[in-house]
Amino acid sequence: MSSAPSELYYAQAFHHGEREHHSYVVAIGHKEQVEALARAEHARHFGEYGIALYQVELDAPLQERLHLVNYLGSNMGERWIDGQQADRQAA
């Protein structure tokens, strides 16, 4: 049995940055593969979807341990920032 990766990455596509609407998971796995699949998916939709790449912690609540590492913006030009970084800066 293979062990779980020490760093796990997750890519999610969002239609024009809408978190609650028109989103889907692109890939979960190692950073290089997830990032390559995210870039390919972003290109396939010609910028209609923004794609967020997160580093996640295995067996932890996703919303509590989500760390944004990259964002491929949609053609609407939105920008996303890491919520954990914003929380740290506010403290």
Structure token pair of residue 30: 């190692």
Structure confidence at residue 4 as a pLDDT band (50, 70, 90): low
Could you tell me if residue 36 is inside a domain? yes
Tens digits of per-residue pLDDT, 17-71? 555 667 899 999 999 999 999 999 999 988 888 999 999 988 888 777 788 999 9
Could you tell me if residue 65 is inside a domain? yes
Could you tell me if residue 1 is inside a domain? no
Could you tell me if residue 14 is inside a domain? yes
Could you tell me if residue 50 is inside a domain? yes
Check whether 11 has a pLDDT greater than 70.
Answer: yes
Within 10 angstroms of residue 26's Cβ, the number of other Cβ atoms is 20
Number of helices (H), then strands (E), in the chain: 2, 4
Sheet holding 67-72, edge to edge: 23-29, 8-15, 49-56, 67-72
Structural domain that includes position 72: 8-90
**pLDDT value, residue 86:** 43
Count of structural domains within the chain: 1
**pLDDT value, residue 16:** 67
Could you tell me if residue 3 is inside a domain? no
> What CA–CA distance (Å, rounded) separates 85 from 9?
17
